[in-house]
Structure 1
Amino acid sequence: MAAVTRCSVSLVRRLLSHHYKRRCVRVFKATRDQPPRACLSNLYNERLFHTTSAWSGPIMQFKLSDIGEGIMEVVVKEWYVKEGDKVSQFDSICEVQSDKASVTITSRYDGVIRRLHYAADDTALVGKPLVDIETDTGPEVAQEEDVVETPAMSREEHTHQEIKGHKTQATPAVRRLALENNIKLSEVVGTGKDGRILKEDILNFLAKQTGAILPPSPFHETRESQRPKEVQPASLPASLPASLPARPQPVLSSQDVTEPLKGFHRAMMKTMTAALKIPHFGLCDEVDLSRLAALRSDLRGISEARGVKLSYMPFFIKAASLGLLHFPVLNASLDEASQNITYKAAHNIGLAMDTSQGLLVPNVKNVQLLSVFEIARELNRLQVLGSSGQLGTSDLTGGTFTLSNIGSIGGTYAKPVILPPEVAIGALGKIQILPRFDSNGELVKAHILNVSWSADHRVIDGATMCRFSNLWRQYLENPASMVLDLK
């Protein structure tokens, strides 16, 4: 018996000298309570196993973590990997879409994808395995981590890391620059090859945030010179007006198509079903924006020199915030039982956007603390993210009051539907140049905007809604008066 024991110990030392430490220790632990002959037999078999096949790491089940807002299921929109692909930490695995936003799930491990638990367009459940990843993690660590709910990203990362259709590509130096300036890479539009984020992109984004003016870099000038020239209207056929927008060719179908409501369409169904339970009160008015048009014309060049496009919308939003200070009941919410009303301190004013993904309503946070220029800068950011499908959950939630700019498409009047738990919403029509009489009775050209308001008639009476509309109109018709109330 003693001779057999010495033999097994000698064999263990030989295996350790041939780099089998991790595997041997595991086998030794598993067999230390067995008789020496069994231990020797297991170690011998283990040695033969290593000479015939490569050791594979533990399989980790990567689970879909809670992404907040009470969401229990998401739709897998697109896979960025397939079985057999190697991935590293923070590599994009797939894009999922909830009722709130699109989210890109990134890997927590280095390893090889062994199984995809869902196909594209399948519904994935929170807390259930999403993919199986073969990792290089030790058995003890793997066993410990497999018990833990493994989040793809922290909740704050879910808010800012949504990238649709591609990974966030940037060098370590660029990532470090973004980290030092507290910039989320998901908010920066990359101008490099395949959407790669460059140093110039970070600096330009930072300049827009701070209002600084950066001189054009040689790289930027090179890019401008290499940009293909736009097609001139003269090159179009004579029978086709230059201003006619291009329209996609219609597709005719010979069969009915039935598909389930998913993603944002499903969210709209739920929200509008709840909204129509609210007794709506409607009010329409028109606003003369002639003075505001002149003011915006004077300020637009200054704003663009700071890297921010200045539209009318920042003035509309700021005027609404000033009005809400006088009528806080319009910036409130009702509980589900309609027993309590909460007056919101923050003016998180939403802007309804028509995107390729459907109707989205991101909001500008704390408008009561922002200047018109700061609102314009935030709107620029939201519009860029909205057009590329990168709006985060924080951008789409927490709204307290909404303006819908239907006029950007061409409508004049609308009947906006309240977004619960909010209690009021406004729809803005297109700005038209129409004849009007001035204070002297002279016929003049006026920039006329039509607005349509809807309010929750359970808590807001018609007189309150009308007084708010009058105050909002006065701020816009006399924009100089806004200066007196700005904080």
Structure 2
Amino acid sequence: MPLAGVSTVACFHKNLYKLETVASEILNELYVPQSIILTLETFLSQVCIHRVRSCSSIRFIKSKYVCVFDKSTLKFSHQQRLFRTSAVSCGQIVQFKLADIGEGITEVTVKEWYVKEGDSVSQFDSICEVQSDKASVTITSRYDGIIRKLHYNVDETAYVGKPLVDIETDASKDVAPEEDVVETPPMSHEEHTHQEIKGHKTLATPAVRRLAMENNIKLSEVIGTGKDNRILKEDILNYLAKQTGAILPPSPKAEIIPPLPKSETVPAAPKDKAHKIPVSRPIVFSGKDKTEPITGFQKAMVKTMSAALKIPHFGYCDEIDLTQLVQLREELKPLAQLRGVKLSFMPFFIKAASLGLLQYPILNASLDESCQNVTYKASHNIGVAMDTEQGLIVPNVKNVQVCSVFEIASELNRLQSLGSAGQLGTNDLTGGTFTLSNIGTIGGTYAKPVILPPEVAIGALGKIQLLPRFNGKGEVFKAQIMNVSWSADHRIIDGATMARFSNLWKSYLENPASMLLDLK
């Protein structure tokens, strides 16, 4: 490096030292690379000079002494070259890693850098824009410092958890564990320059900066009410309200709004523009997910329903007129109560199903796992689906084919009491051959019941509704209508068989007296 002659060194107050020079013409075109350390023997231990170009009054003494500059060099125009210095005392290099962007993204493409090596950055300053296969994301700085290295070029692939840039931070400040800040969408260069006015840094979070950008607001024009004049979201919303005349929802906390000068008036915005600016508040929810093991009846249901998926289901639906059965039950209820039994419609449904199974025994059968043999069950052990606090359970009434309606009602009362108390035994829950699910007690009309292996058929009963119907003379009358939905194993049961069984079961319920002819 060429050096000029030596002149007299004089001291200015504290940190400013000036060396009288006679060789400014020689150094006019001098370029000094960044990070050249020149020491001043008495006063400074280290001074790092970055990007020195054509300073008007500067000269070097020996390597032992520092070069100093005239104040006038700080006042430069666009034609003059930049002279910038920054004092560093043993700065530490922090590797700024690409944080997890979410949604399973492991790599992104660097689309644009907003900084270059040697630039100074502050917290929340935009560093770069990256593109994943789902969105464009702006990465913002976690630290205050100087960019020392960019690990990727534009259009190169960056990986989550790997260093993105190296930042030299001030050693006198404690550096917190790395927690990268990610914000979308990217901020334009024009909006980015609004953050720094005359050396003053506007304090705002990335979310506030994004809100300002979306509404074309310069942060320099907004008065911050937060700590250290930080601009809050409410400040942006208030600014919007003043500009557009929009009415904001009440804020959860008091807002400090500085009064406007008397001479300053806010121009009224056109009414047709007020509705174009959406104002919304994020919904805060503090709930947490909870994971529990599957146990008890629920675990058994998982196993049974998984096996049921292997069965090809055939569905069949119909409606039943229960007007006569409703009248019959009302007559028999007091007699059953005298015997200490609660008489519902279910005993009639079960007994009618048993009478139908005598005519169509294929519905009371089972198919082996190899689908080679069908076993016809002698007993009609008809299950009844029950909704309990422990979950769905299906106890069954044994040997319905030899039981009366009253005996079926008595057994149902026992099973319901034990089921509510969670005291049903293994014998009550196993051995079923056919199932009815009275989903209508909860609600609904039609359903799609799932067969319980090794059974081959199941019926779901809807709620009873009072509906208008026509009689044989074409007259409208009030009818008690219930819908039924059947599912059958289509490997061994065809649709015609299911329909005929349903018609027979329907005839027993629509004309209860006909059951007397087939009772044994």
TM-score (norm 2): 0.45
TM-score (norm 1): 0.48
- Normalized per residue, the structure richer in strand is 2
